[in-house]
Each structure stands twice: as structure tokens, then as C-alpha cells.
């Protein structure tokens, strides 16, 4: 990934660390980065179905984090930094796997305005909240997995990990407005999907009565 | 009074933890006085907590974490030598 290349170039010409420096680096690495391992693994598992691959991506993330640790500014957000690396790992894994230009293809969606979003939101709120309780995790996982990858990652990082718009903008290197629009769209798609599932299961939603 | 369309956006902002004090006040005031928006607000809140609950059901055990950590440490060791 571009980030990696940039990092590699910077790395060249630096004097190797002394034994003592290296020892300290390891301690810092363990103290600052390992506590986030569980969060990254959970995130990776939601993105990739195959457990082994999910773990490999996290492993590779930590190995890179260690290698490039001198670029990590102490006192800044270690978790956000790790997720940024993991996101890149996921992208390159996904690109290798599909070779389709799926990611960039969806970006154009973000330029659209919110007229239709308002409608979806109105439509979805008719679904009573109790019905959601009846849906099982599988439907939800399927709905999340069906999201475009950029939306899915942004959404999961926001809702699962609680990153702020600003942190997300830094992780994805996009403007805050793009983050806001991705989240908005991702949630609307999910609401629509889950409404459809609930219907398919025979639950009546308020909307069914609209025509009466 | 703020219009309902603006409020829809504000609800998202608020639930994302991005609304400032002023926006939060506006939101709560509107929601208290507007039945429609209150429904939406309640729905959105429930929807968020539903998603959060389901997502947290993805299993990650302590054992898995410590095994992976061990593997990473070993790999780093190998890379260094
Ligand atoms: Zn209203």
C-alpha cells in the first residue's frame, strides 16, 4: 500500500537501533499495542469470514506496527494507528482476492445528496423496534457483509470501536463529510435490509398499513 | 423551533457522539415537543443498541488473543534475527 511504501522509504538510511533501544521498543510495543489486539481481532472477524485469514491480517498488522513503530508518535492514538494499518491490510487482501475495482466504484455514491436518504429513514422507522429483537445475528451479519467495503469498515469502526469522525477521517484519509455520509448511507442500507428480512419472515411492519 | 428535517441529521450526529452542547440542547428540546421526531429518535436509539449488541456477539476468546499475541511475538523475534 502507498502508506507502506512511504514508510519504507523513510525507513531507509536510518541507523539501526542499539540493543537497549530495541529492548525498550519491545516493551513499549507490548504495553501500548497489545491491549488492542482483541479489538482488532473482533473487527477482522467481522470483515473476513475465514478465521485463519482474519487472524493473519491482525498478525501482519502488528508485525508492521512493530517495524514502523518509530513513526508512531508517542501519546497519540495507538488504537487508531493500528486500525489504519489493519484497514490497509484488508484492502490489499481484498484486492488480491477479487481484482475488481469494487472499492472505487462505490465512492461515487458518496457524492449523491440525501433526498433519498430521508425517505429510507422515514420508511425504516416504521418498522417497530420489537421486530428487530426477533431478528437473529445471521441476518444482521449478512446485511453488514453486503455493504460496500468502505461503508462496512467505516460503519464498524464507528459503531464497534467508537472512533470519532475526526479519527475515522484520519484512518481513511478522507474528509469528515465523507465519513458522515458513509455512516449515514451504511445505516440506511442496513435499516432497509433488516426491514426486508423482517418482512420476509412474515412480520408486519407499520408500512404495510400505509395504503389503507 | 428547528425543522424536522434538520433534526434527522442532528439525531445521527448526536448518536455518533459528535453533537456539541448547543446541538444537544436543540435536539432534546425538539424531541420533547415533537411526537414524530421522538418516534424516530427512539427508533434510531434502539436500532443502534441492537446493532451494538449483535456485533458484540462475535466471539473473541482470551485464549485466542493470547495465542495470537504469542505468535506475533515469535514472528517478530524471527524477523529480527
Ligand atoms: Zn420534529
B74: contact with A, CB 8 A cutoff = no
The interface predicted TM-score of the complex, written ipTM, equals 0.76
Residue pair A56/A142 in contact (Cβ under 8 Å)? The answer is no
pLDDT digits (tens, 9 = 90+) for A92-111: 887 776 654 444 334 444 44
Query: What ranges do the domains of chain B cover?
Result: 4-80
Q: What is the CATH number of domain A113-206?
A: 1.10.10.10
Structure pTM? 0.72
End-to-end CA distance of chain B: 68
Q: Which of B10, B54, B64, B71 to mutate against chain A (most A CBs within 10 Å)?
A: B54
The 8-class DSSP code of residue A164 comes to: -
Under the phi-then-psi rule, with left for phi > 0, alpha for psi from -120 to 50, and beta for the rest, what region is A112? Answer: beta
Written as one string, the DSSP assignment of A122-191 is HHHHTS-HHHHHHS-HHHHHHHHHTS-HHHHHHHHHHHTT---HHHHHHHHTS-HHHHHHHHHHHHHHHH
Contact: A129, B48; criterion CB under 8 Å? no
Q: Which of A25, A31, A41 to mutate against chain B (most B CBs within 10 Å)?
A: A41
Q: What is the pLDDT of residue A134?
A: 54
Instruction: Give the C-alpha separation, B24 to B59, whole Å.
Output: 35
Q: What is the CATH number of domain A2-98?
A: 1.10.1740.10
Contact: A67, B79; criterion CB under 8 Å? yes
Q: What is the pLDDT of residue A40?
A: 93
Q: Return the residue of B nearest to A192 by Cα.
A: B47
Contact: A46, B54; criterion CB under 8 Å? no
pLDDT digits (tens, 9 = 90+) for A161-180: 889 999 999 999 999 999 99
B16: contact with A, CB 8 A cutoff = yes
Instruction: Give the C-alpha separation, A111 to A120, whole Å.
Output: 17
pLDDT digits (tens, 9 = 90+) for A10-65: 455 566 777 888 888 889 899 999 999 999 998 898 878 788 999 999 999 999 99
Residue pair A206/A127 in contact (Cβ under 8 Å)? The answer is yes
Domain with CATH 1.10.1740.10 in chain A: 2-98
Amino acid at each position: 500500500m502507498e502508506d507502506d511504501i512511504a514508510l519504507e522509504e523513510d525507513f531507509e538510511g536510518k541507523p539501526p537501533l542499539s540493543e537497549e533501544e530495541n529492548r525498550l521498543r519491545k516493551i513499549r510495543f507490548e504495553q501500548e499495542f497489545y491491549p488492542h489486539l482483541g479489538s482488532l481481532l473482533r473487527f477482522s472477524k467481522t470483515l473476513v469470514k475465514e478465521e485463519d485469514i482474519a487472524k493473519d491480517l491482525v498478525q501482519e498488522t502488528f508485525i508492521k506496527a512493530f517495524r514502523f513503530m518509530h513513526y508512531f508518535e508517542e501519546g497519540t492514538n495507538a488504537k487508531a494507528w493500528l486500525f489504519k494499518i489493519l484497514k490497509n491490510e484488508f484492502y490489499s487482501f481484498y484486492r488480491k482476492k477479487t481484482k475488481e475495482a469494487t472499492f472505487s466504484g462505490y465512492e461515487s455514491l458518496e457524492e449523491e445528496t440525501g433526498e433519498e436518504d430521508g425517505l429510507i429513514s422515514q420508511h425504516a422507522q416504521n418498522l417497530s423496534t420489537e421486530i428487530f429483537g426477533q431478528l437473529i445475528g445471521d441476518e444482521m451479519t449478512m446485511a453488514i457483509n453486503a455493504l460496500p467495503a468502505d461503508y462496512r469498515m467505516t460503519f464498524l469502526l464507528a459503531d464497534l470501536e467508537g472512533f470519532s469522525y475526526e479519527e475515522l477521517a484520519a484512518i481513511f484519509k478522507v474528509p469528515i463529510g465523507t465519513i458522515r455520509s458513509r455512516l449515514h448511507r451504511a445505516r440506511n442500507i442496513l435499516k432497509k435490509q433488516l426491514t426486508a428480512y423482517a418482512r420476509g419472515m412474515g412480520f408486519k411492519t407499520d408500512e404495510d398499513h400505509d395504503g389503507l | 423551533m428547528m425543522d424536522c428535517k434538520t433534526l434527522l441529521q442532528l439525531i445521527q450526529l448526536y448518536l455518533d457522539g459528535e453533537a456539541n452542547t448547543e446541538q444537544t440542547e436543540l435536539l432534546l428540546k425538539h424531541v420533547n415537543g415533537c411526537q414524530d421526531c421522538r418516534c424516530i429518535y427512539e427508533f434510531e436509539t434502539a436500532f443502534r443498541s441492537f446493532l451494538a449488541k449483535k456485533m458484540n456477539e462475535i466471539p473473541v476468546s482470551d485464549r485466542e488473543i493470547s495465542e495470537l499475541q504469542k505468535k506475533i511475538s515469535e514472528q517478530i523475534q524471527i524477523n529480527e534475527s
